[in-house]
Amino acid sequence: MNEENKEQNSIPTSKVQRSARFVKTGFKIGGNYVKHYSKKLFNPGMNKDELNEDNAADIYESLSELKGSALKVAQMLSMDKNILPTAYVDKFSQSQYNAPPLSGPLIVQTFRKYFGKSPEQIYDWFNLKSTNAASIGQVHEAELNGEKLAVKIQYPGVGDSISSDLKLVKPFAFRLLGMSEKELDIYMREVEERLLEETDYELEVRRSIEFTEACKDLKNVVFPTYYPELSKKRIITMSWLEGRHLKEYLQTNPSQGSRNLIGQALWDFYNFQQHELRAVHADPHPGNFMITPEGKLGVIDFGCIKEMPDDFYYPFFSTTSTDLLQNKEETIKAFRQLEMILPNDNAQQTEFYYQAYKEMIVLFAKPYMTDSFDFSKTDFFDRLYAFGEKIAKMPEFKQARGVKHFIYVNRTNFGLYNILHELKAEVKTDTYRPHVLLEY
């Protein structure tokens, strides 16, 4: 068994234990810098790749042990591929599929706490070895009345340590992201709000039932059945969905037709929610999807839902319409409502941000501008990342701009684009169009 899949017998749950783990990691990173600069004395041409790899490994090891919100932030950052050095993206993306699983006694302890019974007293059969361990919880196989079930168990202490964890992860995020203090605060506050919801499994079960009901008529999308009577605040029971994760599916060398079908199902799933429900599954990392043996898209996690109020939805998605973008005055009004242009910006700044954001939105909205779009095209993604890198280096964007809703809505849409790119899918993009207002 490799190092990464070794079982974990305990999790640091108190604030003191968790902060001590971060301090230890901080010392290790300090040591990595000393080692790097010592080597650089003898090899001045040396780049930071080895330093980044050492730091990424140490930070990931620490976050994996702590689990929870700290690891979830790493997972989010790994999806924002143009934010971090490659070494961090590669290491942190492991949290999308695998973190060290908890040992059997800890699992039994969690069941006793919430049900007053062991898993064997609840199910006809329960596998104490997890099949999948990620940032907030892990999944176990079980059986009841002849039905195969998936039981998701949250790690101890995760829900109670979100606020303190995010304070601890802040200095790391500050160094890695290069955001301003204010921008980082907005980012962390929105992350905290979503994580508090994501660790409430009773809320997740209610939402899962609502969303699967709302999305039941979508073609080629399937969901597990949820069992509220076998679920608690930190435990969810659902039917087992057979299938392969995206990575495994792509290794089978599927046909273009099959990839297009899965891509279309993903596009419809996300855009139906965004434009018809105004609330969206905001965690589009590949670990949340399965490709079933019948070649359909299985969606297995509704923990993170982002609701979009009208005062965000209309000005944002209306700008994906060429008709609005052709009207400079109305576009500027929409940008003001979204706080992309601020009240104290002078005429020169207003013009600068109008041009920059217009260029960004024209790029982002390309798939919406035609009836179909080929996501295998690397030039579209090269331009997106190049633009992201360009503005990340501009002093004008060091100040926080944009309402907080952008954090998860951008993450959702770019996450969707990235999965469609990995699938190399061509999809019809006119199935669920944004609802637009052309005047503000």
Per-residue pLDDT, averaged over 346-372, amounts to: 92
Task: Indicate the pLDDT class of residue 297, thresholds 50, 70 and 90.
Answer: very high
Per-residue pLDDT, averaged over 163-167, amounts to: 71
Task: Indicate the pLDDT class of residue 86, thresholds 50, 70 and 90.
Answer: very low
**Weakest mean pLDDT among 217-221, 319-323, 402-406:** 319-323
- Is the confidence at residue 9, as pLDDT, over 70? no
Cα–Cα distance between 331 and 311 in angstroms, integer?
Answer: 14
In this predicted model, what pLDDT tens digit does every residue of 229-267 receive, in sequence order?
Answer: 999 999 999 999 999 999 899 999 999 999 999 999 999
- Is the confidence at residue 63, as pLDDT, over 60? no
Q: What is the pLDDT of residue 420?
A: 95
Q: Is the pTM value of this prediction over 0.85?
A: no
Phi, psi of 309 (to 5 degrees): -70, 155
Per-residue pLDDT, averaged over 366-376, amounts to: 93
Contact 126, 217 (CB under 8 A): no
**Weakest mean pLDDT among 20-29, 106-115, 159-168, 390-399:** 20-29
Q: What is the pLDDT of residue 180?
A: 65
Per-residue pLDDT, averaged over 164-187, amounts to: 66
Mean pLDDT computed over every residue of the chain: 79
Q: What is the pLDDT of residue 35?
A: 43
Q: What is the pLDDT of residue 96?
A: 40
Contact 357, 340 (CB under 8 A): yes
Per-residue pLDDT, averaged over 394-418, amounts to: 83
- Is the confidence at residue 126, as pLDDT, over 90? yes
Contact 60, 6 (CB under 8 A): no
- Is the confidence at residue 141, as pLDDT, over 60? yes
- Tokens for 221? 């999308």
- Is the confidence at residue 113, as pLDDT, over 70? yes
| More confident: 82 or 124 | 124
Q: What is the pLDDT of residue 22?
A: 46
Q: What is the pLDDT of residue 27?
A: 42
Q: What is the pLDDT of residue 358?
A: 93
DSSP letters of 258-295?
A: HHHHHHHHHHHHHHHIIIIISEEE----GGGEEE-TTS
Q: For the packed helices 256-272 and 405-423, what is the interaxial angle rounded to 10 degrees? A: 170
Cα–Cα distance between 169 and 161 in angstroms, integer?
Answer: 12
Q: What is the pLDDT of residue 162?
A: 73
Cα–Cα distance between 425 and 376 in angstroms, integer?
Answer: 6
For residue 9, how many other CB atoms are within 10 A of its CB? 10
